[in-house]
């Protein structure tokens, strides 16, 4: 069966002398792998369309086993992602996270839109670190983690002072602070920001510019949940940690006015 699907290339692996095996996250059918015959050859019509981060329309023949990529038409170029080291690093992290948390031929509502919105925002030169935070928080349910962020995880209260509990995986109100002696106190602004990361679509937020300390705090919260509850290790995350520790590797950029705490 020949299918025409919109999708984004997650990864491309050389196979044999001239072929590639590509992993594509499609809007219509979820994630799948396909053989791209001859795609390693520079003159191949599949060479450009099988590069990671490529958004486009793909003609894929499916049947038993792995599909075959017959042809493709490029959509958005994602040129900035390819040319900027920091953008490439965060886009790679987002792609690897989504790839690791999803299965082939599994349709999960909203994941393609999340992937597209995230890459599009980074390509539009929005803060890639903030965009990655959106993806990390929004992918928690896909990993089987459902944090309680709309009320106290213990008593159900919706008003009062709140803290974040790794034990309860969610918020605890001040009446329930005794439940977890290792909870992390948060301000009303931080609480609102966590809920924004978790619930608001990226395309509805605009260019959210946060202080570095705010992003570090949010990153520590969500990654601790991943480390303790999911247990996946990502190569791209290690590279991001290296960039964090050696910022001189990145070209100097004009700093926008920062918001948040």
Mean pLDDT score, 229-248: 87
Q: Residue 208: is its pLDDT beyond 90?
A: no
The edge-to-edge listing of strands for the beta sheet with 162-165 is 170-173, 162-165, 184-185
In the chain, the percentage of residues whose pLDDT exceeds 90 is: 83
Q: How far is CA 188 from CA 6, 139, 159, 171, 194, in A?
A: 40, 23, 11, 12, 10
Q: Identify the H or E element spanning 94.
A: helix 85-101
In 47-199, which ranges are E strands?
55-61, 67-74, 162-165, 170-173, 184-185
Q: What is the pLDDT of residue 244?
A: 83
Q: How far is CA 12 from CA 42, 62, 87, 202, in A?
A: 15, 18, 19, 26
Mean pLDDT score, 90-104: 97
Q: Identify the H or E element spanning 33.
A: strand 30-36
Distance CA 247, CA 80 (A): 19
Q: Residue 261: is its pLDDT beyond 80?
A: no
Q: Residue 198: is its pLDDT beyond 90?
A: yes
At 252, is the pLDDT very low, low, confident or very high (cuts 50, 70, 90)?
low
What is the average pLDDT value for the chain, to the nearest integer? 92
Q: What is the pLDDT of residue 253?
A: 63
Q: What is the pLDDT of residue 255?
A: 54
Distance CA 128, CA 149 (A): 24
Q: Residue 79: is its pLDDT beyond 60?
A: yes
At 76, is the pLDDT very low, low, confident or very high (cuts 50, 70, 90)?
confident
């Amino acid at each position: 069966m020949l299918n025409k699907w919109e999708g984004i290339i997650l990864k491309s692996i050389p196979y044999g002398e001239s072929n590639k095996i590509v992993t594509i996250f499609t809007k219509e059918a979820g994630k799948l792998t396909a053989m791209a015959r001859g795609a390693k050859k520079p003159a191949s019509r599949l060479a450009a369309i099988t590069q990671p981060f490529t958004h486009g329309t793909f003609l894929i023949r499916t049947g038993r086993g792995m599909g075959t990529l017959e042809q493709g038409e490029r959509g958005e170029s994602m040129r900035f992602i390819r040319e900027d080291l920091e953008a490439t690093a965060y886009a790679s992290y987002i792609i690897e996270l989504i790839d690791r948390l999803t299965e082939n031929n599994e349709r999960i509502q909203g994941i393609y839109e999340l992937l597209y919105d995230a890459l599009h925002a980074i390509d539009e030169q929005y803060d890639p670190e903030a965009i990655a935070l959106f993806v990390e928080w929004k992918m928690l349910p896909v990993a089987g983690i459902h944090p309680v962020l709309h009320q106290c995880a213990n008593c159900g209260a919706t008003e009062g002072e709140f803290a974040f509990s790794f034990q309860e995986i969610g918020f605890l109100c001040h009446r329930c602070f005794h439940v977890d002696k290792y909870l992390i106190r948060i301000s009303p602004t931080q609480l609102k920001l966590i809920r924004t990361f978790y619930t608001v679509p990226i395309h509805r937020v605009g260019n959210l510019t946060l202080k570095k300390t705010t992003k570090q705090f949010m990153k520590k919260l969500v990654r601790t949940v991943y480390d303790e509850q999911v247990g996946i290790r990502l190569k791209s995350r290690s590279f991001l940690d290296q960039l964090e520790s050696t910022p001189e590797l990145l070209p100097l950029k004009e700093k926008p006015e920062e918001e948040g705490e």
